[in-house]
Amino acid sequence: MLTADLAAWKKAPERYWRNAAPEIQKLVTGWMGPFYEGKEQLQRDEAMRSCGIAGQTIMLAAKAMGYDSCPMIGFDPVKVAEIINLPSDHVIGFMIAVGKAVKPAVPKGGQLALSEVVVQDRFA
């Protein structure tokens, strides 16, 4: 299960930049408050982006180790949050099942044409 802390940006933000030069650490952590403060949608967007990047990395690492994986939605997020005692300032991104497939995956039902999903330079 991938979860994210919506308020991570204000909980010791220097921890994200601990390996940066002190002047960079000070500069970037100084931007974090004004960038995220009062912008709940941006905070949630960042949380979901982070879950997506982490999830894909887990799935690629699993494949490299000889395992199969599947991202999962369709569960009751309120019940799951209750079961895992999710803090109120966190959100659930998605779950990932990792293991050995017992049969090939069901083929995807369809895919949009690239012309429908790729925009070059700008929208028309």
Q: What is the pLDDT of residue 116?
A: 92
Residue 74 DSSP code? -
Question: What confidence tens digit (pLDDT) does each residue in 20-78 have?
Answer: 999 999 999 999 999 999 999 999 999 999 999 999 999 999 999 999 999 999 999 99
Please state, in angstroms and rounded to a whole number, the distance separating the CA atoms of residues 120 and 124.
Answer: 9
- Under CATH, what is the fold of the domain 2-105? NADH Oxidase (3.40.109)
- Give the start-to-end residue ranges of the domains of the chain: 2-105
| Cα angle for residues 19, 25, 26 (degrees, 5° grid) | 155
Considering the entire predicted model, what is its pTM? 0.84
Q: Which residues pair with 99 in a beta bridge?
A: 68
Q: Which residues pair with 94 in a beta bridge?
A: 2
How many Cα neighbours within 13 Å face the side chain of 13? Answer: 17
Question: What confidence tens digit (pLDDT) does each residue in 73-119 have?
Answer: 999 999 999 999 999 999 999 999 999 999 998 888 889 999 999 99
Please state, in angstroms and rounded to a whole number, the distance separating the CA atoms of residues 11 and 66.
Answer: 37
Q: What is the pLDDT of residue 108?
A: 84
pLDDT over 90 (residue 124): no
User: In the structure, how many helices (H) and strands (E) does the chain have?
Assistant: 4, 3
